[in-house]
Amino acid sequence: MKRGFLNSAKAQKQQLYPAASSSHDTAEASPPSQELESMYKARYGKVENRGKLGLPEGYTPSNIPMSDMQPNGVYKDHIVNGLIFTTLHHASDPAGNHNTELLVEGSTKQKIFSTPGFLKPVPKPSGQPCYVIRSTPDMGLGCFVTRAIEAGETIFAERPLLVAPRSCRVQRGPQLLAQYGIHQGNLVVLAEWEKMLEVAVARMTEENRKALMSLANNHTEDGSGPILGIVRTNAYTSVDIFDGPVKLANNANLYSAILKIGSRLNHSCRGNVTYDFDLASFSYIFKAEKDIAAGEQLFYSYCDLNVPASVRKSQLAPYGVVCKCLSCINATPASDKIRTEFEQRVKDSPKWVTNARANIRLALKLRQDMIDEGLEGTTEYACCLQVLCGMYMLMGETVKFQRIKDEFNKYNRLAKLQAAF
Ligand SMILES: [Zn+2]
Helices 379-395 and 356-372 cross at an angle (nearest 10°) of: 150
pLDDT band at residue 294 under the 50/70/90 scheme: very high
394 alpha carbon – ligand 1 mean position (Å) = 38
Distance 163 CA to ligand 1 centre (A): 28
Q: What's residue 14's pLDDT?
A: 42
Q: Which of 400, 144, 165 is nearest to 292 (CA)?
A: 144
Calculate mean pLDDT across residues 137-144. 94
Distance 384 CA to ligand 1 centre (A): 23
In angstroms, what is the span from residue 37 Cα to ligand 1's centroid? Answer: 28
**What is the 59 CA–ligand 1 centroid distance (Å)?**
42
Residue 111 Cα to ligand 1 midpoint, Å, equals: 38
Tell me what percent of the residues of the chain surpass a pLDDT of 70.
88
15: pLDDT strictly greater than 80: no
Residue 60 neighbours by CB under 8 Å, 6+ apart: none
Distance 326 CA to ligand 1 centre (A): 7
At 284, which helix (H) or strand (E)? strand 283-288
Burial letters 144-175, b for 16+ CB under 10 A, else e: bbeeebebbbbbbbbbbbbbbbbbbbbbbbbe
Give me the pLDDT at residue 319, please. 80
Q: Is the pLDDT of residue 5 over 90?
A: no
Give the distance (Å) from ligand 1 centre to CA of residue 295: 20
Tell whether the torsion through CA atoms of 142, 144, 150 and 153 is positive or negative: negative
Distance 167 CA to ligand 1 centre (A): 27
373 CA from centroid of ligand 1 (Å): 10
410 CA → ligand 1 middle, Å: 25
Q: What is the mean pLDDT of residues 391-410?
A: 97
pLDDT band at residue 28 using 50, 70 and 90 as cut-offs: very low
Distances (CA, A) of 188 to 3, 30, 166, 177, 197: 27, 17, 17, 8, 14
Spatial distance between the Cα atoms of 303 and 11, rounded to a whole number of angstroms: 9
- Name beta bridge partners: 85: 78, 103
Gap between the Cα atoms of 343 and 262, Å rounded? 28
CA 299–ligand 1 middle distance (angstroms): 11
Q: What is the pLDDT of residue 43?
A: 62
Average pLDDT over residues 62-67: 92
- Name residues whose C-beta falls within 8 Å of residue 241's C-beta, 6 or more positions apart in sequence: 104, 108, 112, 163, 254, 255, 279
Rounded to 10 degrees, what is the CA torsion of 143, 146, 149, 154? -60
In the chain, what is the straight-line distance between the N-terminal and C-terminal CA atoms, in Å?
29
Dist CA 61 CA 80 (whole Å):
14
pLDDT at 31: 56
73 band by pLDDT with thresholds 50, 70 and 90: confident
DSSP state of 140: S
How far is the centre of ligand 1, averaged over its atoms, from the C-alpha of 83 (Å)?
Answer: 38
Measured in angstroms, how far is the CA atom of residue 140 from the centroid of ligand 1? 17
- Cα 16 to the chain's mean position, in Å? 11
DSSP state for residue 110 in the 8-state scheme = H
Q: What are the residues whose beta carbon lies below 5 Å from ligand 1 (ion)?
A: 269, 323, 325, 328
CA of 325 to the centre of ligand 1 (A): 4
Interval between CA 327 and ligand 1 midpoint (Å): 5
CA of 135 relative to ligand 1 center, distance in Å: 20
Question: What spacing in Å lies between the alpha carbon of 219 and ligand 1's midpoint?
Answer: 21
3-class SS of residue 326? helix
Distance in Å, CA 46 to ligand 1 centroid: 23
Asked if 287 and 131 count as a contact pair (C-beta separation under 8 A), the reply is: no
Distance 388 CA to ligand 1 centre (A): 28
**How much distance in Å is there from the Cα of 336 to the middle of ligand 1?**
12
What are the distances in angstroms from CA 355 to CA 63, 264, 368, 380, 418?
71, 47, 20, 21, 22
Q: What is the pLDDT of residue 50?
A: 65
Give the CA angle between residues 20, 185, 225 to the nearest 5°. Answer: 85
**How far does the centroid of ligand 1 lie from the alpha carbon of residue 328, in Å?**
4
Distance 300 CA to ligand 1 centre (A): 11
Confidence of residue 32 (pLDDT cuts 50, 70, 90): low
Query: How far, in Å, is the centroid of ligand 1 from the Cα of 319?
Result: 13
CA 181 to centroid of ligand 1, rounded, Å: 37
Distance 324 CA to ligand 1 centre (A): 6
Predicted model pTM: 0.87
Give the residue among 356, 344, 418 at the shortest CA–CA distance from 386: 418
